Amino acid sequence: MSARIWHIAHLIGIITIMAFLLAPVILVFPISFSADAYVAWPPSAWSTRWYGELFRNEEMVQAFKNSMVLALIVTSLTLLIATPAAVALTRSVFPGREALISFFTAPLLLPSIVLGLAILIIFVGYGLVGSWPGVMIGHLVITLPYALRVLITGLSTLPANVEDAAGTLGANPFVVFRRVTLPLIVPALIASAALAFIVSFDEVVISLFIAGTQLKLLPVSLYHYVESRADPLVAAISALMVLGTLAIVLVVERAVGLRRAVAK
């Protein structure tokens, strides 16, 4: 009986903690259907007014398109750079390899505001502030460590004897990678792509430093919007972003499984 009581108490504790952590996210959805002209809880009436206002807001629509294009480009570049880098770091043995991995993943340890300020100081001298190339490079600085870490983990769990067997049968390194290694790391590639897309699309701090006023991005436009207004339009945008992130996670789960995506 005591074990059953402990199990129930443990379950209640987990549910309470999860409810506490998710409460701010969950509250976004009812607030987004408020008919009030300002954020209030509870809403005095219910309406889809702010979703209509969102799609009529040309600045937000354009910022969404820019963020979507940017995230797709950054995700593609991330995979193109991180995949061969992860293969080289896991399949080659050389002095300083661990130090090199730590260096490439160091941006994960730095506060975003410090990283953004450092990138701004460097980019000003090269005229990259407020430009597409500048924002892409800035986002790559934070997406590459995530993708590299996931891909290194995925490659480290692969049986090396499979690649060795292909090599002993006459396949050159490129054929081994294309026919053996690449199919085996598809789950890690999908997870890396999903993570890179979400991080790039949602990045606000570095975008604030680099995008300037010329390039409209959704997180930046949303940040400036809440500085002067407090209506439920913000909640409507946030609700759609939460649903979009959840959809990406569900697609990864349905396609390869989240656990299989990062390790075997």
What span, in angstroms and rounded, lies between the C-alpha atoms of 157 and 181? 11
What integer pLDDT is reported at residue 91 of this predicted model? Answer: 77
Nearest to 107 by CA among 33, 36, 27, 199: 199
Residue ranges of domains in the chain: 56-262
Neighbouring residues of 248: CB distance < 8 A, sequence distance ≥ 6: 194, 197, 198
pLDDT in tens, 143-196: 999 999 888 888 887 776 766 666 666 666 777 777 777 777 888 888 889 889
3-state helix, strand, coil in the chain (%, to 5): 80, 0, 20
CB 130 within 8 A of CB 221: no
What integer pLDDT is reported at residue 168 of this predicted model? Answer: 66
CB 231 within 8 A of CB 247: no
pLDDT in tens, 205-259: 888 888 877 788 888 888 888 877 777 888 888 888 888 888 888 877 776 665 5
User: φ, ψ for residue 34 (rounded to 5)?
Assistant: -75, 145
What is the percent of the chain where pLDDT is above 90? 13
Fold of 56-262: MetI-like fold (1.10.3720)
Which 3 state secondary structure label does DSSP give 46? Answer: strand
Q: Is the pLDDT of residue 43 over 70?
A: yes
Give 194's strand partners: none
